[in-house]
Amino acid sequence: MADMEAETVARLLVEQFICRYGVPDELHTDQGRQFESELFQHMCRLLDINKTRTTPFHPQSDGMVERFNRTLAEMLSAVVAKDQLDWDSWIPYVLMAYVRQNMKALGSPRLN
């Protein structure tokens, strides 16, 4: 990501996530200025996304995200080259494995 400005974050969210997976019902963010900007708020209203945010100085509210990040890092460590320069190219494959693992655990009929 070139920068963390609101326009960049909103554009990448739409191009890299929403266009691929659809519009989420809810988006939970921290209180970074890019997420609190008028542009980002407007995008959420246009797409009918219920935007929620973490409580400041209360890291316990980030538990699910932190757990996912830890799992993602563990999965990436199994496939990334020793120089760690190719980690970003593995993200789509690791995410696919993560989703498949969770669908299988939930007994999704699509994986039977």
How far CA 61 is from CA of 29, 67, 72, 83, 111, in Å, comes to 11, 11, 19, 34, 32
Q: What is the pTM of this model?
A: 0.62
In this structure, are residues 2 and 34 in contact, taking their beta carbons and an 8 Å threshold? no
Quote the Cα angle for 58-60-62, to 5°. 95
Same domain? 27 vs 42: yes
Residues 10 and 45 in one domain: yes
Per-residue confidence at 112, pLDDT binned at 50, 70, 90? very low
Q: Give yes or no: residues 9 and 39 share one domain.
A: yes
Question: Domain check: are 1 and 39 in the same one?
Answer: yes
DSSP annotation of 18: I
Tell me how many domains the chain contains. 2
Average per-residue pLDDT in the chain?
85
Q: Structural domain of residue 95, as residue ranges?
A: 59-112
User: Do 33 and 73 lie in a common domain?
Assistant: no
Q: Could you tell me if 24 and 67 lie in one domain?
A: no
pLDDT at 20 over 70: yes
